[in-house]
């Protein structure tokens, strides 16, 4: 029995390692290429590592402005999503109403709609409303598109906060919003942080929405402006592309680390999703 | 979801079911629901609005240039007829199906489940290494992931170097088998999601049940199929729904890797729609395709919602 256990454990480790290596290889490319002046397409450690690629991309047009645009866009949209999601989750979690079930089913249904498909009519709508190429309009659409999922997750986390504490507050004469702010939110901030960070990470990587709704180069976020590396001049500079990719990825990596150190990481999200 | 939508015995139920019994002191029913308005407002304007607009535009000849730009008129089912008669559209449908089947239903789902199962038997060090690598691939922005994998699959890329080591011929995978390459790319990028969902689900399967099944002689595969999988069937269903729908609407990854090419060999529905609506300015036709995609998404969504409901009942 024990010998068999050990063999099965060894096999599991070996298979996992092999899969892990396959996942790591493409990641290694970006790390090595970013410090290689003559980077090509294969994973190879540079003969003379250099920071020149980073120096070349660290300027307003290539990096600073797109990253700042991305922060404004995704930060604003993630906050808007969260505020709306928390407000919406409260009555859904706390009060029984005939309206809850159909609403939650609709929300669940909306999480399934392919946002990509909505983009053509959204573009049409934006033309009608004169919202094309505005940061505000794009923020509102990005917030809306992640709202169904955020409401669903937030409600799940909120259900975990016992209602008895609020009942005491209600007796003391606190209103709903007061109870939400003073009692529920402090108790569920880890859940809120998880939803907020994941919403932000999703938006930060989103390419299609800003690609369609924003036009002026000076408004484009990092996810779209990365295309400028593939100009009309043939082969891009892979080293600089890799360096830029790393810089662009850093904010979400930091957020993710924060999440996994303080909040139980993505596994908390998995727990909330799996039902 | 612990209450209304999908009650689950395993999930921690809030210690007083929110029945509203006792309720807050002030406020009629309608006032209580007031906090929902910002969310509903946004969703009406930016989600329901476009969908309704989509239903309208799909039956017109709306276009950014040409006759449809000046005088928009109803054309009935013309756009749909045109679509189903066009070989480019059927090609896109097929590619979308292949892409979804390989990358989501087979790839991400099985690999994610496999990883979650194997991780329960592995040592902590290996588990952390693999977990970090898989989640790292997931956290990367879409376009960055696309570049990494373009490099990986390229003629001069790492995959061919590895194939040469074992004596196999290499080729430019993005030209030779673009839909396979983008499918593998989507597996690389998306597996973490399934892995997380399954890890969470498996962590709630009591060890004793599996052990007693083992005592009864149910070994390996049998134990997995008859004991473990049924216990996480809800998670499997939820996961399948979410990844299928995510995969149906993948755009950035494919666009950045192949732009749908070479030719139309990796042009899935979202890319075809984009090309028709914007490169060719046929908004009416583009929205008709969007409507088809929405319908496919809606059907999937409904099937799984039904599944969840009957499971829960």
Question: What residues make up the domain containing B103?
Answer: 77-312
Give A165→chain B minimum CA distance, Å: 10
- CATH of the domain spanning A57-273, picked from 3.40.50.1700, 3.60.10.10, 1.10.3720.10, 1.25.40.420: 1.10.3720.10
Residue B64 has pLDDT above 80, yes or no: no
Residue B41 has pLDDT above 50, yes or no: yes
Show residues of chain B in contact with A236, CB under 8 Å: none
Q: Pick the closest to residue B254 from B152, B181, B312 (CA basis).
A: B181
CB B270, CB B250: distance < 8 Å: yes
Whether B177 and chain A come into contact, CB under 8 Å, resolves to no
Share of chain B above pLDDT 90, in %: 20
Query: Would you say residue B33 lies in a domain?
Result: no
Q: Which helix (H) or strand (E) holds A26?
A: helix A2-34
Residue A137 has pLDDT above 90, yes or no: yes
B277 pLDDT band, cuts 50/70/90, is: confident
Show residues of chain B in contact with A112, CB under 8 Å: 241-242, 245, 297-298, 300-301, 304
Nearest CA in chain B to A28: B148
Which of A 113-132 lie inside 8 A of B, CB atoms?
Answer: 113-125
Q: How far apart are CA B243 and CA B101, in angstroms?
A: 11
Show residues of chain A in contact with B194, CB under 8 Å: none
Task: Give the model's pLDDT for residue B182.
Answer: 94
Q: Give me the residue spans of the domains in chain A.
A: 1-50, 57-273
Whether B83 and chain A come into contact, CB under 8 Å, resolves to no
CB A67, CB A222: distance < 8 Å: yes
Task: Give the model's pLDDT for residue A269.
Answer: 64
Query: Would you say residue B20 lies in a domain?
Result: no
- For B82-100, write each residue's pLDDT tens digit: 888 889 999 999 999 999 9
Q: Pick the closest to residue A187 from A168, A163, A161, A151 (CA basis).
A: A161
Query: Would you say residue B225 lies in a domain?
Result: yes
Name, in order, each residue with C-beta under 8 angstroms of A145's C-beta and a sequence gap of 6 or more.
Answer: A115, A118, A209, B46, B47
Q: How large is the average pLDDT for residues B166-182?
A: 84
Q: Which residue has the tokens 């979801």?
A: B1
Highest mean predicted confidence (pLDDT) among B67-71, B108-112, B214-218: B108-112
- For B220-234, write each residue's pLDDT tens digit: 677 777 778 888 888
Q: What are the helix (H) ranges across chain B?
A: 29-32, 37-43, 49-57, 67-70, 78-85, 87-99, 109-119, 124-139, 142-153, 158-165, 173-176, 178-202, 207-215, 220-223, 229-231, 233-248, 252-257, 269-274, 283-312
B27 pLDDT band, cuts 50/70/90, is: low
To the nearest whole number, what is the mean pLDDT of chain A?
84
Task: Give the model's pLDDT for residue A73.
Answer: 94
- For A230-275, write each residue's pLDDT tens digit: 654 566 778 888 888 889 888 888 888 887 776 665 556 666 665 4
CB B62, CB B283: distance < 8 Å: yes
Query: Would you say residue B221 lies in a domain?
Result: yes
A206 and B241 within 8 Å at the Cβ level: the answer is no
Lowest mean pLDDT of A17-26, A247-256, B3-12, B39-48, name the range: B3-12
Whether B171 and chain A come into contact, CB under 8 Å, resolves to no
Show residues of chain B in contact with A116, CB under 8 Å: 249-251, 270, 273, 293
The reported pTM is 0.83
Which of A 133-172 lie inside 8 A of B, CB atoms?
Answer: 140-141, 143-145, 147-148, 151-152, 155-156, 159-164, 166-167, 170-171
Whether A245 and chain B come into contact, CB under 8 Å, resolves to yes
- For A59-97, write each residue's pLDDT tens digit: 888 888 999 999 999 999 999 999 999 999 999 988 888
Identity of the residue in A161, A205, A212 whose CB atom sits nearest the CB atom of B142:
A205
Give B143→chain A minimum CA distance, Å: 7
More confident residue, B261 or B297: B297
Task: Give the model's pLDDT for residue A164.
Answer: 83
What are the φ and ψ backbone dihedral angles of B74, each rounded to 5 degrees? -70, 135
A176 and B161 within 8 Å at the Cβ level: the answer is no
Query: Would you say residue B9 lies in a domain?
Result: no
Identity of the residue in B1, B25, B273 whose CB atom sits nearest the CB atom of A120:
B273
Q: How far apart are CA A45 and CA B164, in angstroms?
A: 19
Query: Would you say residue B42 lies in a domain?
Result: no
Task: Give the model's pLDDT for residue A222.
Answer: 85
Q: Report helix, strand or coil for B204.
A: coil
Query: Would you say residue B71 lies in a domain?
Result: no
Show residues of chain B in contact with A221, CB under 8 Å: none
ipTM: 0.82
Identity of the residue in A92, A114, A206 whose CB atom sits nearest the CB atom of B294:
A114
Q: Report helix, strand or coil for B74.
A: strand
Share of chain B above pLDDT 70, in %: 84
Residue B296 has pLDDT above 80, yes or no: yes
Show residues of chain B in contact with A33, CB under 8 Å: 151
Strand partners, B60: B74
Residue B4 has pLDDT above 70, yes or no: no
Q: How large is the average pLDDT for residues A149-166?
A: 87
CB B269, CB B93: distance < 8 Å: yes
Please report, for the domain that includes residue B181, its CATH number: 1.10.3720.10
Q: How large is the average pLDDT for residues B14-39?
A: 63
Whether A201 and chain B come into contact, CB under 8 Å, resolves to yes
Which of A 44-83 lie inside 8 A of B, CB atoms?
Answer: 83
Task: Give the model's pLDDT for residue B265.
Answer: 86
B13 pLDDT band, cuts 50/70/90, is: very low
CB A244, CB A57: distance < 8 Å: yes
A198 pLDDT band, cuts 50/70/90, is: confident
Q: How far apart are CA B113 and CA B107, in angstroms?
A: 10
Show residues of chain B in contact with A180, CB under 8 Å: 35
Task: Give the model's pLDDT for residue B304.
Answer: 72
State how many domains chain B has. 1
């Amino acid at each position: 029995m024990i010998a068999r256990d050990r063999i099965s454990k060894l096999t599991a480790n070996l298979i996992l390692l092999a899969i892990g290596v396959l996942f790591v290889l493409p990641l290694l490319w970006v790390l090595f290429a970013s410090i290689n002046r003559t980077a090509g397409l294969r994973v190879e450690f540079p003969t003379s590592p250099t920071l020149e690629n980073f120096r070349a991309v660290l300027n307003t047009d290539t990096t600073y402005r797109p990253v700042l645009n991305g922060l404004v866009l995704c930060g604003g949209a993630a906050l808007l999503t969260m505020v709306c999601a928390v407000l919406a989750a409260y009555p859904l979690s706390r009060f029984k109403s005939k309206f809850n079930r159909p609403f939650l089913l609709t929300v669940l249904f909306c999480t399934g709609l392919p946002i990509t498909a909505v983009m053509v009519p959204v573009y049409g709508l934006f033309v009608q409303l004169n919202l094309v190429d505005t940061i505000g309009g794009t923020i509102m659409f990005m917030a809306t598109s992640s709202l169904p999922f955020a409401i669903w997750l937030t409600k799940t986390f909120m259900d975990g906060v016992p209602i008895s504490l609020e009942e005491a507050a209600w007796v003391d004469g606190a209103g709903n919003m007061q109870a939400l702010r003073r009692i529920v939110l402090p108790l569920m901030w880890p859940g809120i942080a998880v939803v907020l960070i994941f919403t932000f990470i999703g938006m930060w990587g989103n390419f299609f929405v800003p690609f369609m709704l924003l036009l002026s180069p000076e408004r484009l976020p990092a996810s779209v402006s990365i295309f400028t590396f593939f100009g009309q001049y043939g082969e891009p500079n892979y080293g600089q592309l890799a360096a830029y990719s790393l810089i662009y990825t850093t904010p979400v990596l930091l957020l993710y680390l924060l999440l996994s150190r303080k909040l139980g990481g993505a596994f908390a999200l998995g727990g909330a999703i799996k039902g | 979801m612990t209450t209304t939508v999908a009650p689950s015995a395993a999930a921690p139920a809030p210690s007083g079911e929110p029945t509203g019994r006792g309720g807050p002191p002030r406020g009629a029913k309608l006032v209580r629901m007031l906090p929902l308005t910002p969310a509903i407002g946004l969703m009406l304007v930016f989600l329901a609005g476009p969908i309704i607009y989509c239903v309208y535009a799909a039956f017109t000849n709306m276009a950014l240039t040409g006759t449809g730009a000046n005088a928009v008129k109803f054309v009935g089912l013309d756009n749909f007829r045109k679509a189903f008669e066009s070989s480019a559209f059927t090609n896109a449908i097929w590619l979308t199906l292949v892409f979804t089947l390989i990358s989501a239903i087979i790839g991400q789902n099985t690999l994610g489940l496999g990883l979650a199962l194997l991780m329960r038997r592995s040592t902590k060090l290996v588990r952390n290494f693999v977990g970090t690598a898989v989640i790292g691939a997931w956290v990367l922005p879409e376009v960055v992931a696309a570049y990494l994998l373009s490099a990986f699959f390229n003629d001069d890329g790492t995959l061919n170097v590895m194939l040469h080591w074992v004596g196999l011929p290499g080729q430019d995978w993005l030209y030779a088998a673009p839909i396979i390459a983008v499918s593998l790319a989507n597996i690389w990028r998306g597996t973490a999601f399934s892995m997380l969902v399954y890890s969470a689900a498996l962590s709630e399967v009591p060890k004793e049940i599996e052990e007693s099944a083992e005592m009864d002689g149910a070994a390996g595969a049998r134990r997995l199929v008859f004991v473990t999988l049924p216990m996480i069937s809800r998670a499997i269903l939820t996961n399948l729904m979410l990844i299928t729908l995510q995969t149906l609407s993948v755009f950035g990854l494919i666009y950045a890797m192949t732009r749908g090419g070479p030719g139309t060999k990796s042009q899935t529905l979202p890319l075809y729609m984009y090309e028709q609506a914007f490169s060719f300015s046929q908004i009416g036709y583009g929205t008709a395709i969007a409507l088809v995609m929405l319908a496919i998404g809606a059907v999937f969504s409904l099937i799984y919602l039904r599944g969840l409901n009957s499971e829960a009942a």
